């Protein structure tokens, strides 16, 4: 019975932390929350991918900084994107977190590589 509660608590914590990762909030030096503008029309496809490439588009043509992190939080890819194609063939299959920065705007999404 306690094992079921343990897994239930883990499940709830996992999804509550996952939903916080997609909020566009940052913290100032004094610890107060500060909203960051979202990237208008952001699209990351195909997701999941097995082609070794992903495409990132938005309504703006401003260059984008792409950071990809593994599930342990280690940065595995960091590129500045002037086109819309990102080569992810060097990454092993798995689940990653992709962070896209465009000017002052920022967005975080989950990326799955098969």
Give the helix/strand (H/E) hosting 19: helix 2-21
Average pLDDT over residues 101-105: 93
Beta bridge partners of 108: 99
Half-sphere exposure of 71 (CA within 13 A, CB side): 8
Digit-coded pLDDT (tens) for 19-64: 444 445 555 566 666 666 899 999 999 999 999 999 999 998 899 9
**Is there a contact between 98 and 111 (Cβ–Cβ < 8 Å)?**
yes
Digit-coded pLDDT (tens) for 61-80: 899 999 999 999 999 999 99
pLDDT at residue 26, as a whole number: 54
Q: Give the domain ranges of the chain.
A: 37-113
CATH topology of domain 37-113: Immunoglobulin-like (2.60.40)
The answer, as to whether pTM is greater than 0.75, is no
């Amino acid at each position: 019975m306690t094992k079921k509660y343990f897994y239930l608590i883990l499940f709830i914590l996992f999804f509550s932390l996952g939903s916080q990762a997609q909020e566009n909030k940052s913290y100032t030096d004094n610890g107060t929350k500060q909203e960051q503008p979202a990237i208008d029309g952001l699209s990351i496809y195909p997701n999941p991918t097995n082609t070794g490439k992903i495409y990132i588009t938005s309504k703006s043509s401003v260059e984008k900084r792409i950071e990809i992190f593994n599930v342990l939080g280690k940065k595995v890819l960091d590129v500045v994107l002037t086109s819309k194609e990102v080569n992810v063939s060097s990454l092993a299959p798995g689940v990653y977190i992709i962070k896209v920065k465009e000017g002052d705007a920022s967005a975080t999404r989950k990326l799955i590589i098969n």
